[in-house]
Amino acid sequence: MKEQNQHCRKNSYKKVGYDLKLLIIDQIQNAQISINHAANKYQVSRASIYYWLKKYSTLEQKKQGMSKKDEIKKLKEKIEELEFV
């Protein structure tokens, strides 16, 4: 038996623009496509997709958190206003 020296070939992936990232994330979150299928279809690594999903979800949470803080602030102001009257 001969030993073959085969090097592991690293897959090369293309750079993905912001709009395409959002499209991929949207398709995955709406259950239109799986992460594995998206990785194959768009020639990006699954690790990248997981990273985008994590980053996108924290971004959305921050947006919602800010709007909740604003809403609480408005409600407190309204309460103070009503208590004053």
Cβ atoms of 27 and 33 closer than 8 Å: yes
pLDDT at 4: 54
Cβ atoms of 34 and 28 closer than 8 Å: yes
pLDDT at 37: 92
Spell out the per-residue pLDDT of the chain, length 85, in tens: 455 555 566 666 667 788 888 889 888 888 888 999 999 998 899 999 999 888 887 777 666 666 777 788 888 988 988 887 6
Q: Domain boundaries in the chain?
A: 18-84
pLDDT at 5: 54
Q: Which two tokens stand for residue 12?
A: 């090369």
Which residue is associated with the tokens 């949207």? 26
pLDDT at 6: 56
